[in-house]
Amino acid sequence: MTQEILLTGRVLSFDRTPFETTPETSARLDEALVIRDGRIAAVGETAALAAAHPNASRHDHGQHVIVAGFIDPHVHFPQTAMIASWGKRLIDWLNSYTFPEEMRFANPAYAAEIAARYLDLTTAAGTTTMCSFCTIHPASVEAFFTEAKARGQRVVAGKTCMDRNAPEGLRDTAQSSYDDSKALLEKWHGEGRISYAITPRFSPTSTAEQLEAMGALWAEHPECLMQTHLSEQTDEIAWVKQLFPDARDYLDTYESFGLLGANGLYGHAIHLEPREKDRLREVGAALVHCPTSNTFIGSGLFDMTGLMAEGHRIGLATDTGGGSSFSMLRTMAAAYEIGQLRNNPLHPAQLLWLATVGSARALRMEDRIGNIAPGMEADLVVLNLASTPAIAQREAEAEELWEAIFPTIMMGDDRAVAEVWIGGQRVKS
């Protein structure tokens, strides 16, 4: 018989969307859950579950809160070693810091080292799934998937494609990007918990021929996600207008090449025109909010409340290393702060939902990850709500659960992440 595991604590899951109901009533609290064969087998009261699963090995977490593992739907794992690089806005930041670092991934050994380092750092922070850009080098994708597979992690990634406006050594071609992406997709998509995402970096670094090739590949594999960047900074948008004078707007540079669809993930999406919002919503595309990146690179204030009210599908992400953190706790805090600057403070339930269910929805994986319910994959985080003296003294004053969680969202780091479980295995304790 397979070994069952019984976890007790304050098991927090969502049965409603906190943007569509009073946030406080969107979640439910249980006492325990059972893991079997990498999945959640049962959720409920401790006594009943212990009686029904007498041979389960038991882990008691007292007042710790057990939530679904965090999901980060927009990251660049190759930017791990250049996170927190000073003083530039998007285009200069890419040229000064990002592209030189990404060149180093021509060396497969370096790619493997950074993939392992990145997954160590994010596991410590409680992130169990991410969707990553790699570099133009197929070996960077191999390194990331090989490391994630060894760890049993559900991840999405793709070869970043760019054939212009990037330095020598960091450009592919329309044909090679199609061929390399296709080969990687056919090798890795659906291999264990791994998914391939077709990945044109953004319109300024692709010719029309490359965007067309990416659109053709997506048409052949509509089951795959497609990830890119959209309307992050105003200078970038002006540049896109110059490069694509016939396009109606930035989104049209994707749409006209078959790169707008329900399985599309559009990172940043800050400065959108009304037509762009309408089309993104009509097709059911996902927008990905990257708040620490948007303040760090000086991009602008994403309109979470307005876009949610219009019915967009939205995930929350770090955008490591444009984002200044590997932590989804820090990212939730930044989303709260941006909400405040727009006069729309997000409720802690909305923040936690975005980092779990919302981001799973963005990845079209909400039936497998991002929540705690029977049948879901057992990717879990155990949160200590009193992980530092500063947080503990505030938590001690709290009169209800969300007030107790909010100081950890605002001030917590990897010390708040007491345990992490991936696919039913404990990977941090």
Q: Is 210 in the site for ligand GUN (CB under 6 A)?
A: no
Q: Is 271 in the site for ligand GUN (CB under 6 A)?
A: no
Q: What are the φ/ψ torsions at residue 281 (nearest 5 degrees)?
A: -70, -40
From candidates 30, 147, 232, 303, binder to ligand GUN by CB under 6 A: 232
Tell me the per-residue interface mask from 248 to 287 with Zn ion, x by CB under 5 A, - otherwise.
-------------------x--------------------
> What distance in Å separates the CA atoms of residue 251 and residue 122, rounded to the nearest whole number?
31
User: Min. distance of Cβ 267 from Zn ion in angstroms?
Assistant: 5
Q: Is 76 in the site for ligand GUN (CB under 6 A)?
A: yes
Q: Quick one: what does residue 202 bind among Zn ion, ligand GUN, none, with the CB cut-off 5 to 8 Å set by partner type?
A: ligand GUN
Cα torsion 328, 375, 66, 120: sign: negative
Count CB neighbours of 60 within 10 A. Answer: 11
Of 125, 178, 133, 130, nearest in space to 159 by CA: 133
The token duo for 347 is 């409720």
User: Min. distance of Cβ 320 from Zn ion in angstroms?
Assistant: 9
Of 24, 43, 7, nearest in space to 418 by CA: 7
Q: What are the φ/ψ torsions at residue 161 (nearest 5 degrees)?
A: -105, 130
Q: Which residue is nearest to ligand GUN (CB)?
A: 322
Q: What angle do CA 190, 193, 198 make, to 5 degrees?
A: 55
* Strand pairing report for 225-230 and 194-200: parallel
From candidates 182, 201, 313, 347, binder to ligand GUN by CB under 6 A: 201
> What distance in Å separates the CA atoms of residue 78 and residue 144, rounded to the nearest whole number?
9
Q: Quick one: what does residue 339 bind among ligand GUN, Zn ion, none, with the CB cut-off 5 to 8 Å set by partner type?
A: none
User: Min. distance of Cβ 292 from Zn ion in angstroms?
Assistant: 12
User: Min. distance of Cβ 18 from ligand GUN in angstroms?
Assistant: 27
297-316 positions binding ligand GUN, by CB under 6 A: 297
User: Min. distance of Cβ 362 from ligand GUN in angstroms?
Assistant: 17
Would you say 89 or 368 has its CB closer to Zn ion? 89
- The answer for residues whose C-beta is within 8 angstroms of residue 239's C-beta and 6 or more apart is 91, 204
The helix (H) or strand (E) run that includes residue 13 is strand 5-14
Tell me the per-residue interface mask from 94 to 123 with ligand GUN, x by CB under 6 A, - otherwise.
x---x-------------------------
User: Min. distance of Cβ 68 from Zn ion in angstroms?
Assistant: 23
User: Min. distance of Cβ 232 from ligand GUN in angstroms?
Assistant: 5
Would you say 73 or 423 has its CB closer to ligand GUN? 73
Would you say 184 or 230 has its CB closer to Zn ion? 230
Count CB neighbours of 87 within 10 A. Answer: 8
- The answer for residues whose C-beta is within 8 angstroms of residue 176's C-beta and 6 or more apart is none
Q: Is 319 in the site for ligand GUN (CB under 6 A)?
A: yes
From candidates 9, 23, 291, 322, binder to ligand GUN by CB under 6 A: 322
From candidates 72, 276, 303, 319, binder to Zn ion by CB under 5 A: 319
Separation in Å, CA 220 to CA 26, 185, 186, 197, 366: 39, 11, 11, 13, 24
Q: Quick one: what does residue 201 bind among ligand GUN, Zn ion, none, with the CB cut-off 5 to 8 Å set by partner type?
A: ligand GUN
Q: Is 137 in the site for ligand GUN (CB under 6 A)?
A: no
One-character DSSP codes across 302-338: --HHHHHHTT-EEEE---BTTBS-S-HHHHHHHHHHH
Q: Is 229 in the site for ligand GUN (CB under 6 A)?
A: yes
Would you say 94 or 213 has its CB closer to ligand GUN? 94
> What distance in Å separates the CA atoms of residue 26 and residue 16, rounded to the nearest whole number?
5
From candidates 293, 320, 350, 408, binder to ligand GUN by CB under 6 A: 293
Q: Which stretch binds ligand GUN (CB under 6 A): 90-98, 258-266, 394-402, 419-427?
A: 90-98
Strand residues in 91-174 grouped as ranges (E): 127-133, 155-158, 160-161
Whether the CB-CB separation of 40 and 13 falls below 8 Å is answered with: no
How many residues sit in the footprint of ligand GUN (CB under 6 A)?
A: 12
Whether the CB-CB separation of 304 and 346 falls below 8 Å is answered with: yes
Q: Quick one: what does residue 293 bind among ligand GUN, Zn ion, none, with the CB cut-off 5 to 8 Å set by partner type?
A: ligand GUN
Binding residues vs Zn ion (CB under 5 A): 267, 319
Binding residues vs ligand GUN (CB under 6 A): 76, 90, 94, 98, 201-202, 229, 232, 293, 297, 319, 322
